[in-house]
Amino acid sequence: MISKYSIAKEPLSRRPYKASCKLCTNGEKKFGIETDLFMKVLTTTNDPWSSNEVQKAQMEDPAIRPILKKKLNSEDRPYRQEIAPESPATKRYWVLWDSLHLKDGVLYRKWESDDGSSCRWQLILPKSRIQEVLRETHDSASGGYFGVMKT
């Protein structure tokens, strides 16, 4: 039996809301939340999420490196023959070429709303950072599953 509490049980399994969702948009306006998900970070030598550190991690990732190098050197999409010997992940990034953009030398995917009125930026996460992100979303005080009675 499905209870009314089990419907919204796991927040990490939900799809992102549509940009046209009035409830979410009103909440963002009310609380002054930016809709651009581009993370603004202070650049320090100790910050593992500085633009320089993220770009370095992307360059060390064998799936991201070929695409990032091409994006840094040219806006022109490479020919299929140039990408053919690369990994399936690199080929997937090649397919997404037009939606991949550089911000401070870091590769992001641009997600546009259905009507084209807004966009969000998704960091192309290097494989070396996946565990850190998953750990943070699960183990941090604000992440993971709180259960019905804790929300």
Q: How far apart are CA 20 and CA 114, in angstroms?
A: 9
pLDDT at 7: 45
> What is residue 59's three-state secondary structure?
helix
Distances (CA, A) of 19 to 24, 26, 63, 90: 8, 11, 30, 29
Q: How far apart are CA 84 and CA 99, in angstroms?
A: 20
Residues in the chain: 151
pLDDT at 18: 57
Q: How far apart are CA 64 and CA 102, in angstroms?
A: 13
Give the pLDDT confidence of 78-91 residue by residue, as tens digits. 999 999 999 999 99
Sequence spans of domains, the chain: 39-139
The mean per-residue pLDDT over the stretch 92-112 comes to: 95
Among 56, 58, 48, smallest CA distance to 109 is for 58
pTM for this predicted structure = 0.62
Distances (CA, A) of 105 to 1, 19, 30, 130, 142: 51, 27, 33, 20, 30
Q: Tell me: pLDDT of 23 over 90.
A: no
Percentage of the chain exceeding pLDDT 70: 62
